[in-house]
Amino acid sequence: MATRRVTCYIAVCDLCGNSAHDEGFTPHLDTPDEAVQHAVDSGFDERSGWTLTLDGTLVCDQVKDTAHEDAHATAGKRMSACAMAVTFTHA
């Protein structure tokens, strides 16, 4: 039986350690940058999805607690009860 070792990268939330997104599927990508970019990109709206803060903290959109909500709010997002809906605040 032939096998090959493959190295891949997944995005991991710096706050809670969550790695699942895209409806529970965890994408495996070729570089760390690709994994982060995939996490912050959204197929529905470029303003939704995970947040990469200015200090480089990667924050998932699956957990609803003060730390996650504060990180999203700092980036200009307000997460609703449904992760599919994001409202941007205008300063």
The residue among 71, 50, 52 whose CA lies nearest residue 60 is 50
- Burial (CB < 10 A; 0-12, 13-18, 19+), residue 30, is exposed
The residue among 84, 13, 90, 88 whose CA lies nearest residue 52 is 13
For 53-86, the pLDDT digits (tens) are 989 999 988 888 899 989 988 887 766 555 455 5
Structural domain tally of the chain? 1
Question: Quick one: DSSP state of residue 29?
Answer: B
Q: Which residues are CB-neighbours of 68 under 8 A, at least 6 positions away?
A: 15, 16, 59, 60, 61, 79
Question: Residue 66's domain spans which residues?
Answer: 1-91
- What pLDDT was estimated at residue 47? 57
